Each structure stands twice: as C-alpha cells, then as structure tokens.
Amino acid sequence: MMDQNSLTAQVSSTQHGVVIIGAGLAGWHVIDAIRSKDKDVPITLITADSGDRYHKPMLTMAISQNKLAADLVRATGADAAQTANVTLLADTQVSDIDAVNQQLHLVSATRLDPVTMSYASVSYDKLVLAMGAHPIFPKSLPEDLVWHVNHIERFGQLQEKLGSGSQRVAIVGAGMVGTEIAEDLLKAGHKVTLLDLNDAPLAQMLPTKATARIAKAIESQGIQFLGGYQVTSVSRNDDDTLTLSCEPLKNDSESIEKQPTSLIVDHVIASTGLIVDDKLPAAAGIEFDRRTGIVVDASTLQAQSSLGESKQAQSHPIYAIGDCMSIDGVACRYVAPLRAQAATIADDILGLTHNGYEHKPPMIRLKNKAISVMVVGTPHASGNWQITTESEDELVMTLLNDSQEVSATVTIKAPVVV
C-alpha cells in the first residue's frame, strides 16, 4: 500500500493517456486490447485492491477443489502492470470525476483523515469505467454477519473460516451464483441450505417447468432448498452460530400453507444480486440506472451524457465495460462478451477504424454437476415459452417474442453418469 504523499508523487509523474478505473476482468481486458495495438500509449490503472489478475467465475467452484485464493491468482497486480507497461495505482479510491477538466480525485486506502487531507489527482485523455458491481445486502442481511463471494479477498476470508470440517451454511438467493456455490460447498463436505423468494432456483430467468427440474436435481444431491421464503433477520447466538428467521411469502396457488421457520447455521452467504454505485457516474454526468448500470452506446460503448449531447461529451467520451454497464436497459454481467467489448473500446480510444460492437447475448451455462443447464438468447421467466423436447432426460424450451420469433432457448439435461 502507499500513503497519500507517495500517491501524490506517483500520479504527478504519470502522463495523461488512458486511465482505467477497476482492475477486474473487464479492466485488464481493455489493457490487453490496447497493448495488442499500441505498446506505448500511457495507461494508468486505478483499483481499490491489489489489482491481481484472477478469473472470478472460478470463485464458485474453488472451495470443493481445495484451491486457496492465492491459487486462483494468475499474476499479481504489480507483475501484470510491469509486463503490460502500465502505471498501477493499487489500494486507491476514485472519489470524484471532473469530466469538464478531465481529472480524477484520488484517495489512498491508507489515508487516515479523508476530510482534512488534500486529495491527489490525475488527469486523463481517455477514461474507461470498469469498476464492476457490488453485492446487494438487504436490511435483513447485515454485512457484518453475512458473507458474499464476489471478490477474491472476501472469498479467501470465507474459505479460511470454513476450515477443514463440515459446517452448516445457508445461501440466500438461488440465482446462477447461489446455485453454483451451493453445490460447491456441498461437494466440500458442508451441509447446505439454499433459500430464495421464488419457488425454485433460477426462477427469475426460466419458466416453471424448467426450474422444477433444477430444484429436483439439487435437492437429490442433499441440498435443502427453501423456496418461497424471505429472510427477515440474521442474529448471532452466544455460541457464535447464526439464527436466520424466515417468513413464507404468500402464494395463492399453494394448497399447503407454509409456516415461518428458523435455521441455525455457522455461516450465511448472500447471493441476492448486484448493484452499481452511482457516485462516479453522477459526478461524471453520465446516464445511469442503479439496478442495471451505466447507459452506453451499443456500438461504441461510450457512456451517454445525462446532460444531453454536448461538444464536451463528444470530444472527450467516457467508456464503460463489464458489470457496471448496460446496453438497451439490460445489465451486461457475463464474462464471454468482455473480449469483444474491450477490442471495440481499444480501437475507439486509439482512433482506429472499427465496425462497432455488436452485442450478442452469450451462452449461459450453470456450472453444476447435478444437472446440465444451457441458455442462449435473452431469457426471462414470464413470456411465451414453448416445449420443443420433453423426456425424462431432456427438456428443451424456446421463448417466443411478440413476432413469434425465438428470443431464448433453454436446454436441460440429466447428468451423464460415468
């Protein structure tokens, strides 16, 4: 880590060039794309952590594989920055964006008094926002009692607490990530309960007939699934265990009324979705939705000005990529499109001719061994889903739009037993 004086000295010696905020997969992809075309343009990477390169999707599979956080790091931030000829400002927060003067205000993580001490600043010619998204913690899930698996540092802390013995773990939220973590922990020998507001996993994405198969598969492994329940509180007990109080959601279609219940567990993991911090987009004067992220032009990935079209916005565009951005009102939170997004941003920054980014929804694959789930297109639970194949071992359904065209397809298969 660096103190504020060393931070000020370092940023004062950097050339303007390209500045990237965020050292996750998205930020490093942009660096790779620029360096493939230009070895010399100055690049400054600002990150609140160490900037280490790792593949985030591995976090939902690593515990059962006995992989430590250090095992997932492909290169330290310092080594990766040196290799790519990048100025790395690690453990550093961006507190403000002055888009008119093209300047960022920075503060070191080691800074003691953020009120009275002066901020360091860095200027930029081109700015890329790759700052990701943050886990949502409802009020009933206090951050000091609940884990998340959205960053390698927090993952490492959870893995250390889990230790080598079997523990009881509750996972709140049965989307893709929650369902994958549930199986990973089960395979590692832990007793797992998966809870969700909906009656089945992935219920916000897929129709009932599909999600019922997923629920049956994960329960057959030994994962307890509590669907249709809302966690109302989490409290710590005298023996350091946790109590979750859960209330059933009313469902008029259910013949058997569910009763309130409570769980006593050793750990609680929140997998209740992601949200994008609005502080920097608001400061930069760009369009933003807290749920889906920064609004970008679908072709150039330039952030749209919230102040309307202006000469300043056109001549000094700000780009966004990855979890923090959205296209046509849909959040872009999958890894597969990052390479193409980064290539478009790199070409645009370097003034190279390009055809523009063409967004194609990636194939979504649930990383669970209990059942094979593959989705293409843009799925959502409600809509005109049609069955094309249905057997004991396979279910294929297509989602038709208003023009009776296929907008999504889900294929669910029973696992192959070897």
pLDDT (tens digit per residue) in 110-147: 554 444 445 688 999 999 999 999 999 999 999 999 99
Give pTM, 2 decimals.
0.89
Which CATH number does the domain 4-133+276-349 belong to among 3.30.460.10, 3.60.110.10, 3.50.50.60, 3.90.105.10?
A: 3.50.50.60
Q: What is the rounded average pLDDT for all residues in the chain?
A: 90
Residue range 175-221, pLDDT digits in tens: 999 999 999 999 999 999 999 999 999 999 999 999 999 999 999 99
How many other C-beta atoms can be found within 10 angstroms of the C-beta atom of residue 290? 10
Would you identify the CATH topology of the domain 364-413?
Enolase-like; domain 1 (3.30.390)
Torsion from C-alpha of 367, 372, 377, 381, nearest 10 degrees:
-100
> Which DSSP state fits 56?
G
User: Which of 73-77, 139-143, 185-189, 253-257 has the lowest average pLDDT?
Assistant: 253-257
CATH class of the domain comprising 136-270: alpha beta
Domain pair 4-133+276-349 / 136-270, same fold = yes
**418, 115, 127: which is closest to 285 by C-alpha?**
127
Q: Are strands 126-129 and 120-123 parallel, antiparallel or unpaired?
A: unpaired
Residue type at position 265: V
Sketch the domain layout of the chain as residue ranges.
Answer: 4-133+276-349, 136-270, 364-413
Tell me phi and psi for residue 326, to 5 degrees: -140, 150
